[in-house]
C-alpha cells in the first residue's frame, strides 16, 4: 500500500480542482493570523466545521518540495505566556482518520502576518503524515521540536519552552480536505508554562468622544471578549442619570474576537459636569468578560468629566537639546489636521538669535485629528541659548482648532533650551614603532560653558582585532597597536548636558620594526685572519641611521661595515641592532663566529730507504679535527694517512704534509726520503792517467755512509780498503801501481743492504 503522503501527492496532481479549492482566501474569523482566537489556558476549543481555504507555504525547518507544508484549511490561536515553562497541548480530530498538523510561532513585538516571511519566529512544529491525535507532549513520546512531513513520523513533538511575557501564535492546519472538525486542549502531563491571564478585568478610564457630549470612549485595562458586550449598551449606566446609554460598540470587533476600547452612545448630550460610569450585568446576563470569562465586577465605577469645549493647550515639546532642525509639539488633546498652516506660520521662535520656520505638519493624522505637530526649521540650531516657541494666528487666519473648532490661545508659548555642544579634538603620536607601538592620545576637547571636567568619553581606536581593548572611556587613553595601520581613531564626547559630538582622525604614523641582518666575509676564521662584517638590515619603510655592533670580545662598532681581526681562538657572539630614520629600533640579531688555531705540523726527519724497499713516515702533529694530505702521492700507499707507507721507491723524493684542522686552518712541513740504489760496480778500469776510466768508480756507493770495501789479490793479499766516506780506488797499493791482473772484492754497503763480492780487472 502506498504511503498516505504519496497518495495525497498523486491526488493533488490528478485532481487539480481540489488543490485549487484548498488555496482560496480565508475569510472566516480565526483563519488568519490577524484574527486569531485568543486563548485562555483553561479553555477547551472545539471547532465543529473547518472551512476549506488557505494554502500559503509555511516557513519551517522542514524541506518541502511537494508543497504540503502549508496553512491548509487553517485556524489560528494567540496567547501570552505569564510564567515560563513547557507547553503541552492536544489536537483531537472529531474523526480520528483525519490528518491535522500544527506549527508554533513566537510573535513578540511582531506583526502576526510576519509568520509567512520570517523563519526566525519558528518555535516548534509537527507535520506528520499520519492520522489521529497530535500535539506537543513528552509523555506521548515527543522527542524533537521539529517533526516533518511523511508517513511514520511521530505525531507528537517535544514540549516547547515558553518565555514569560512573550506572545505566541499556534497554527492548526487540516491536511485532509474535509470539513470535519477537532478539539484543541491546552495542558497535560509535564506542562509548566502558564498561559492563563492572571490580571483581573477592570475599567481603565473614560473620556468624551464627541463635541456634543453624546458619546464617550471607555478604555479597558486589557483585551476582553467582543462577544461579552451587549450591543444595546445595557452593560453600562451613567450616574447621575442625565442620559441613557443606547448602544455600545467594541473597537476592532468587526475583524477580531477581542477589544480593549468601547464607544458608548447616549440618547442625549450630557451636560457639563462630573459623572461616574457604572458597570452593570447587561441584557446578555453578564458584565464584560475577559478571555477566561472573568467579568468586570458588577457596580464597578469610573469617574469622567464633561467640560466645555476649551482650546487645546500645549503639553510639551520634544527636540534634540544639543542641535535641532525640527521641533515636535505634543498637545494636551487632538486638533484638526487641516487647522495647521503648512508654511509653519502658526508658530514663531524667539531667542538670542533669529530662527525661521520652514514648514509645519501633523506627525500623523487619525480620522482628521492629531496630537503631535512637527515644526521644521530653515537652519539647524547649533548655538546654545534659551528660546520660546510661540503660537500665533497663521496665514490660514486661525491658530490650532480643537475637535470642536475652538481655537488655541494666540501668544501661548513653550520654552526650550539649546545646550552647548562639545568641541572635539585630540592629538595622535607623531611616530610609533612596532613591536611596542604604545600610542597615547591626548584629548583637547572643550565646551563653551567650561564643563570639560564632566565630559564622558568614548574612544574607538580603529583596531577591532584588539577587542575588548579597542575602546576606552578615559580622557587620555593608551592603546597598544600590533600592526602598522592605518587606523581610523574616533572620539565621541558627551557633555554633562548629554550633548554629543565626535570626530575621527586617521592615524597612520606607526612604522614596522626593522629586521636585523648582517654577514661575515668569511666564517669560520683562523687565528690572525681578517674578517669583514657588513650590515644587511631591512630598514622597512625607512633607512638605517645608527648601528650598534657588539663583537663579543668587548669591542663595539657604530658603522655599517668594517674589518676586524680577533686576537684569541674561541667562539664569539656577534650582535647587531640598529635604528632607522623614524627612530625605530630593529630586533637584535646574534650570529657566532669561531676563531680556530692553526695545527702544529712536523713532517718528521729526512729518511733513507733502499730502492724497492719501504718505510713508514711518522710525522708529529697536534690539533683537533685534523685531515692529512701528503704531496706528491708517488710511492705512498695512502696520501691522506697520518702515517703513510712509502713503498718501493726508486728515486729520492721530498714529501710535503699539509694538515687541515678545525675551521679549515692549514699548516705544512716537508721531509726527504733518500732512496739508496744498489751500487753499480764496474769489473774493469784503466789506471793509465789518460783521464779516462783511471779509477774504479762504484756508482751510488757514496750514499752509503757506513760502507766497507776490501780488494784482494788472487793470493788473498789486501791491496785496498775503504770505510765510510767512499774514495774511488786508483789501482795502487801503498803508493805502488799494481800490475795488470784480476782482483777480488768484498763490498759491505751497510744501511741494510747485503754484502756483495766479485772481481775487477786492471787493464793497462
* pLDDT tens digits, one per residue of 168-206: 999 999 998 888 999 999 988 999 999 988 889 999 999
CB 740 within 8 A of CB 764: yes
* Residue 619 near residue 601 (C-beta atoms within 8 A): yes
Q: Examine residue 240 and say whether the peptide bond preceding it is cis (omega within 30 degrees of 0).
A: yes
Architecture in CATH of 600-676: Sandwich (2.60)
Question: Do 203-306 and 600-676 have matching folds?
Answer: yes
Answer left, alpha or beta for residue 230, where phi above 0 means left and psi between -120 and 50 means alpha.
Answer: beta
267-325 pLDDT, tens per residue?
Answer: 999 998 999 999 999 999 999 999 888 999 999 999 999 887 888 898 999 988 888 99
> What pLDDT sits at residue 65?
65
Burial of residue 673, with CB atoms counted within 10 A of its CB: 0-12 exposed, 13-18 middle, 19 or more buried: buried
Residues 412-448 have pLDDT tens digits of 999 999 999 999 999 999 999 999 899 999 999 999 8
User: What does the pLDDT average to over 479-497?
Assistant: 95
> Which pLDDT does position 320 carry in this prediction?
86
Residues 413-437 as b or e (16 or more Cβ within 10 Å = b): bbebebbbbbebebebeeebbbeeb
pLDDT of residue 9: 34
CA 658, distance to chain mean position in Å, is 65
Region 103-108: mean pLDDT is 97
Class of domain 518-596: mainly beta
571-588 average pLDDT score: 96
CATH superfamily of 426-511: Immunoglobulins (2.60.40.10)
- In the predicted model, what is the mean pLDDT of residues 458-472? 95
As a whole number, mean pLDDT of residues 18-41 equals 78
CA torsion angle 665 666 667 669 (round to 10): 160
pLDDT at residue 20 in the model: 35
Q: Residue 708 pairs with which residues in a beta bridge?
A: 723, 748
- pLDDT tens string 298-308: 999 999 998 87
Element holding 520 (H helix, E strand) = strand 518-520
Q: Where are the domains of the chain?
A: 4-186, 203-306, 314-418, 426-511, 518-596, 600-676, 684-762
**Fold type of domain 314-418:** Immunoglobulin-like (2.60.40)
**What is the per-residue pLDDT for 429?**
94
Mean pLDDT for the chain? 92
pLDDT(15) > 50? no
More confident residue, 347 or 15: 347
pLDDT band at 599 (very low <50, low <70, confident <90, very high): very high
Query: How far, in Å, CA of 235 to CA of 370, rounded?
Result: 31
Three-class secondary structure of residue 219 per DSSP: strand
For residue 552, CA distances in Å to 296, 570, 571 come to: 98, 10, 9
Could you tell me if 539 and 516 are in contact, meaning their C-beta atoms sit under 8 angstroms apart?
no
Find where cell 800490475 sits. 739
What pLDDT is attached to residue 345? 96
Nearest to 346 by CA among 407, 261, 262: 407
| Average pLDDT of the residues in 442-459 | 94
Contact 206, 216 (CB under 8 A): yes
Q: Please check the confidence at residue 761 and state whether its pLDDT lies above 50.
A: yes
**Sign of the C-alpha dihedral, residues 397, 400, 402, 403?**
positive
pLDDT score for 391: 96
- Does the pTM of the predicted model rise above 0.75? no
Rounded to whole angstroms, the Cα distance separating 463 from 471 reads 9
Q: In DSSP terms, which residues pair with 762 in a beta bridge?
A: 685, 741
Read off the pLDDT of each residue in 619-635 and give the average, rounded to a whole number: 95
Into which CATH architecture does domain 684-762 fall?
Sandwich (2.60)
Q: pLDDT-derived band of residue 23, with 50, 70 and 90 as boundaries?
A: low
pLDDT of residue 398: 93
CATH of region 203-306: 2.60.40.1220
pLDDT at 14 over 50: no
Taking 50 as the threshold, does the pLDDT of residue 7 lie above it?
Answer: no
Amino acid at each position: 500500500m502506498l504511503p498516505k503522503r504519496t497518495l495525497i501527492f498523486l491526488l493533488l496532481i490528478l485532481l487539480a480542482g481540489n488543490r485549487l479549492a484548498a488555496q482560496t482566501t480565508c475569510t472566516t474569523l480565526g483563519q488568519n493570523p490577524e484574527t486569531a482566537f485568543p486563548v485562555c489556558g483553561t479553555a477547551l476549543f472545539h471547532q465543529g466545521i473547518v472551512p476549506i481555504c488557505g494554502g500559503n507555504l509555511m516557513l519551517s525547518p522542514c524541506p518541502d518540495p511537494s508543497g504540503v507544508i502549508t496553512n491548509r484549511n487553517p485556524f489560528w490561536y494567540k496567547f501570552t505566556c505569564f510564567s515560563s515553562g513547557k507547553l503541552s497541548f492536544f489536537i483531537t480530530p472529531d474523526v480520528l482518520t483525519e490528518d491535522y498538523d500544527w506549527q508554533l510561532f513566537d510573535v513578540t513585538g511582531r506583526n502576526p502576518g510576519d509568520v509567512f516571511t520570517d523563519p526566525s519566529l519558528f518555535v516548534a512544529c509537527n507535520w506528520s503524515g499520519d492520522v489521529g491525535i497530535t500535539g506537543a507532549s513528552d509523555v506521548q513520546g515527543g522527542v524533537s521540536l521539529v517533526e516533518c512531513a511523511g508517513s511514520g513520523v511521530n505525531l507528537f513533538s517535544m514540549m516547547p519552552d515558553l518565555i514569560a511575557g512573550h506572545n505566541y501564535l499556534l497554527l492548526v492546519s487540516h491536511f485532509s480536505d474535509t470539513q470535519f472538525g477537532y478539539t484543541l486542549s491546552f495542558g497535560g502531563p509535564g506542562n509548566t508554562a502558564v498561559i492563563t491571564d492572571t490580571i483581573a478585568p477592570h475599567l481603565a478610564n473614560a473620556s468624551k468622544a464627541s463635541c456634543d457630549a453624546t458619546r464617550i470612549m471607555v478604555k479597558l485595562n486589557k483585551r476582553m471578549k467582543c462577544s461579552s458586550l451587549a450591543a444595546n449598551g445595557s452593560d453600562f449606566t451613567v450616574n447621575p442619570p442625565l442620559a441613557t446609554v443606547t448602544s455600545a460598540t467594541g473597537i476592532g470587533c468587526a475583524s477580531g474576537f477581542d477589544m480593549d476600547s468601547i464607544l458608548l452612545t447616549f440618547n442625549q448630550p450630557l451636560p457639563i459636569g462630573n459623572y461616574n460610569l457604572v458597570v452593570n450585568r447587561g441584557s446578555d446576563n453578564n458584565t464584560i468578560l475577559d478571555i477566561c470569562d472573568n467579568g468586570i465586577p458588577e457596580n464597578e465605577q469610573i469617574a469622567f468629566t464633561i467640560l466645555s469645549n476649551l482650546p487645546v493647550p500645549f503639553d510639551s515639546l520634544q527636540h534634540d537639546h544639543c542641535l535641532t532642525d525640527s521641533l515636535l509639539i505634543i498637545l494636551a488633546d487632538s486638533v484638526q489636521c487641516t487647522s495647521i498652516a503648512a508654511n509653519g506660520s502658526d508658530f514663531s521662535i524667539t531667542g538670542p538669535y533669529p530662527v525661521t520656520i520652514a514648514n509645519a505638519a501633523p506627525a500623523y493624522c487619525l480620522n482628521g485629528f492629531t496630537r503631535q505637530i512637527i515644526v521644521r526649521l530653515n537652519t539647524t540650531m547649533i548655538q546654545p541659548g534659551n528660546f520660546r516657541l510661540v503660537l500665533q494666528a497663521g496665514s490660514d487666519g486661525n491658530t490650532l482648532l480643537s475637535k470642536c473648532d475652538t481655537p488655541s490661545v494666540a501668544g501661548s508659548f513653550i520654552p526650550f533650551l539649546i545646550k552647548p555642544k562639545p568641541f572635539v579634538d585630540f592629538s595622535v603620536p607623531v611616530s610609533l614603532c612596532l613591536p611596542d607601538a604604545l600610542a597615547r592620545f591626548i584629548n583637547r576637547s572643550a565646551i563653551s560653558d567650561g564643563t570639560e571636567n564632566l565630559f564622558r568619553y568614548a574612544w574607538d581606536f580603529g583596531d577591532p582585532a584588539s577587542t575588548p581593548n579597542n575602546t576606552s572611556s578615559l580622557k587620555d587613553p593608551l592603546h597598544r597597536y600590533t600592526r602598522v595601520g592605518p587606523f581610523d581613531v574616533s572620539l565621541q564626547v558627551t557633555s554633562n548636558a548629554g550633548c554629543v559630538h565626535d570626530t575621527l582622525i586617521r592615524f597612520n604614523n606607526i612604522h614596522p620594526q626593522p629586521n636585523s641582518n648582517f654577514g661575515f666575509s668569511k666564517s669560520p676564521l683562523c687565528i690572525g685572519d681578517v674578517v669583514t662584517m657588513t650590515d644587511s638590515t631591512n630598514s622597512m619603510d625607512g633607512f638605517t641611521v645608527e648601528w650598534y655592533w657588539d663583537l663579543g670580545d668587548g669591542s663595539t662598532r657604530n658603522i655599517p661595515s668594517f674589518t676586524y681581526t680577533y686576537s684569541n681562538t674561541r667562539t664569539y657572539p656577534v650582535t647587531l641592532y640598529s635604528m632607522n630614520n623614524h627612530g625605530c629600533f630593529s630586533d637584535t640579531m646574534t650570529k657566532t663566529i669561531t676563531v680556530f688555531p692553526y695545527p702544529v705540523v712536523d713532517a718528521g726527519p729526512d729518511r733513507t730507504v733502499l730502492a724497492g724497499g719501504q718505510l713508514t713516515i711518522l710525522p708529529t702533529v697536534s690539533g683537533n679535527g685534523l685531515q692529512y694530505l701528503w704531496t706528491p702521492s708517488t710511492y705512498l700507499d695512502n696520501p691522506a694517512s697520518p702515517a703513510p707507507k712509502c713503498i718501493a721507491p726508486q728515486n729520492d723524493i721530498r714529501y710535503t704534509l699539509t694538515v687541515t684542522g678545525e675551521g679549515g686552518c692549514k699548516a705544512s712541513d716537508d721531509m726527504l726520503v733518500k732512496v739508496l740504489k744498489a751500487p753499480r760496480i764496474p769489473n774493469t778500469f784503466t789506471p793509465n792517467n789518460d783521464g779516462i776510466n783511471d779509477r774504479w768508480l762504484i756508482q751510488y756507493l757514496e750514499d752509503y755512509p757506513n760502507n766497507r770495501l776490501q780488494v784482494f789479490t788472487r793470493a788473498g793479499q789486501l791491496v785496498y780498503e775503504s770505510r765510510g766516506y767512499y774514495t774511488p780506488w786508483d789501482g795502487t797499493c801503498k803508493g805502488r801501481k799494481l800490475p795488470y791482473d784480476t782482483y777480488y772484492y768484498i763490498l759491505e754497503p751497510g744501511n741494510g743492504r747485503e754484502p756483495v763480492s766479485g772481481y775487477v780487472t786492471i787493464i793497462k
